[in-house]
Amino acid sequence: EDQVTQSPEALRLQEGESSSLNCSYTVSGLRGLFWYRQDPGKGPEFLFTLYSAGEEKEKERLKATLTKKESFLHITAPKPEDSATYLCAVHGGRDDKIIFGKGTRLHILP
Protein backbone atom coordinates (compact mmCIF):
# COMPACT_ATOMS: atom_id res chain seq x y z
CA GLU A 1 0.00 0.00 0.00
CA ASP A 2 1.29 3.46 -0.88
CA GLN A 3 1.97 5.37 2.31
CA VAL A 4 3.67 8.47 3.74
CA THR A 5 4.69 8.63 7.41
CA GLN A 6 6.13 11.74 9.03
CA SER A 7 8.01 11.90 12.32
CA PRO A 8 8.01 13.27 14.87
CA GLU A 9 4.39 14.42 15.12
CA ALA A 10 5.51 17.51 17.02
CA LEU A 11 8.88 19.06 17.80
CA ARG A 12 9.81 21.91 20.13
CA LEU A 13 13.23 23.51 19.68
CA GLN A 14 15.05 26.44 21.13
CA GLU A 15 15.91 29.22 18.72
CA GLY A 16 19.19 28.27 17.03
CA GLU A 17 18.85 24.55 17.83
CA SER A 18 19.19 22.66 14.53
CA SER A 19 17.21 19.47 13.87
CA SER A 20 15.68 17.29 11.16
CA LEU A 21 12.17 16.20 10.24
CA ASN A 22 11.63 12.80 8.66
CA CYS A 23 9.31 11.64 5.87
CA SER A 24 9.27 7.91 5.16
CA TYR A 25 7.43 6.67 2.11
CA THR A 26 6.46 3.46 0.41
CA VAL A 27 5.35 4.06 -3.15
CA SER A 28 6.16 2.31 -6.38
CA GLY A 29 7.49 4.48 -9.13
CA LEU A 30 8.17 7.71 -7.25
CA ARG A 31 7.62 10.68 -9.57
CA GLY A 32 8.29 13.38 -7.01
CA LEU A 33 8.45 14.13 -3.28
CA PHE A 34 7.24 17.49 -2.05
CA TRP A 35 7.68 19.52 1.12
CA TYR A 36 5.16 22.18 2.16
CA ARG A 37 4.88 24.61 5.04
CA GLN A 38 1.43 25.24 6.55
CA ASP A 39 0.66 28.04 9.00
CA PRO A 40 -2.46 27.81 11.21
CA GLY A 41 -5.67 28.58 9.33
CA LYS A 42 -3.89 28.81 5.95
CA GLY A 43 -3.29 26.61 2.93
CA PRO A 44 0.03 24.79 2.50
CA GLU A 45 2.87 26.73 0.87
CA PHE A 46 5.15 24.86 -1.53
CA LEU A 47 8.81 24.59 -0.47
CA PHE A 48 10.67 21.90 -2.45
CA THR A 49 10.36 19.11 -4.99
CA LEU A 50 12.83 16.20 -5.01
CA TYR A 51 12.86 13.65 -7.82
CA SER A 52 15.65 11.13 -7.24
CA ALA A 53 17.78 9.64 -4.47
CA GLY A 54 20.75 11.81 -3.62
CA GLU A 55 19.07 15.03 -4.63
CA GLU A 56 19.24 18.02 -2.26
CA LYS A 57 17.49 21.41 -2.31
CA GLU A 58 18.08 24.43 -0.07
CA LYS A 59 16.14 27.55 0.82
CA GLU A 60 17.33 29.86 3.57
CA ARG A 61 17.54 27.75 6.77
CA LEU A 62 15.90 24.70 5.18
CA LYS A 63 17.54 21.85 3.30
CA ALA A 64 15.65 18.85 1.92
CA THR A 65 17.32 15.55 1.04
CA LEU A 66 16.02 12.34 -0.51
CA THR A 67 16.92 8.65 -0.33
CA LYS A 68 15.10 5.66 -1.81
CA LYS A 69 12.99 5.27 1.33
CA GLU A 70 12.84 8.63 3.05
CA SER A 71 13.36 12.35 2.93
CA PHE A 72 14.70 14.70 5.56
CA LEU A 73 13.98 18.36 6.07
CA HIS A 74 16.94 19.83 7.91
CA ILE A 75 16.43 23.08 9.76
CA THR A 76 19.62 24.96 10.62
CA ALA A 77 19.63 27.58 13.39
CA PRO A 78 15.84 27.99 13.32
CA LYS A 79 14.05 31.18 14.28
CA PRO A 80 10.58 31.56 15.87
CA GLU A 81 9.14 32.48 12.46
CA ASP A 82 9.99 28.97 11.25
CA SER A 83 7.26 27.64 13.56
CA ALA A 84 4.65 25.89 11.39
CA THR A 85 3.44 22.47 10.33
CA TYR A 86 5.64 20.91 7.66
CA LEU A 87 3.91 18.52 5.27
CA CYS A 88 5.47 15.88 3.06
CA ALA A 89 3.72 14.49 -0.03
CA VAL A 90 4.66 11.95 -2.70
CA HIS A 91 3.49 11.59 -6.28
CA GLY A 92 3.52 8.16 -7.84
CA GLY A 93 2.23 4.70 -7.07
CA ARG A 94 -0.05 2.37 -8.95
CA ASP A 95 -2.81 4.98 -9.19
CA ASP A 96 -0.45 7.89 -9.95
CA LYS A 97 -1.80 9.82 -6.95
CA ILE A 98 -0.48 12.48 -4.61
CA ILE A 99 -0.39 11.22 -1.01
CA PHE A 100 0.17 13.51 1.98
CA GLY A 101 1.60 12.71 5.39
CA LYS A 102 0.04 14.04 8.58
CA GLY A 103 2.77 16.60 9.05
CA THR A 104 5.21 17.62 11.78
CA ARG A 105 4.21 20.55 14.01
CA LEU A 106 7.37 22.54 14.66
CA HIS A 107 7.54 25.11 17.44
CA ILE A 108 10.64 27.26 17.84
CA LEU A 109 10.97 28.90 21.24
CA PRO A 110 12.64 32.33 21.42
Partner 1 sequence: EADIYQTPRYLVIGTGKKITLECSQTMGHDKMYWYQQDPGMELHLIHYSYGVNSTEKGDLSSESTVSRIRTEHFPLTLESARPSHTSQYLCASIGGLISYEQYFGPGTRLTVT
d(CA 40, CA 14): 20
Among 24, 26, 49, 76, binds partner 1 (CB under 8 A): 49
- To the nearest whole angstrom, how small is the minimum distance from the Cβ of residue 38 to partner 1? 8
Give the list of residues 6+ apart from residue 39 with CB closer than 8 angstroms, or none: 45, 84, 85
Out of 21, 44, 66, 106, the residue judged to bind partner 1 by CB under 8 A? 44
Site for partner 1 in 7-36 (CB under 8 A): 9, 31-32, 34, 36
Residue 6 vs 65, nearer CB to partner 1:
6
| 107 binds partner 1, rule: CB under 8 A | no
- CA torsion through residues 88, 59, 49, 64, sign: negative
Region 70-89 residues binding partner 1, contact defined as CB under 8 A: 87, 89
Name the residue among 101, 103, 82 with its Cα closest to residue 13.
82
Q: How many helices (H) and strands (E) does the chain have?
A: 0, 11
When binding is defined by CB under 8 A, the residue of 45, 56, 58, 81 that contacts partner 1 is 45
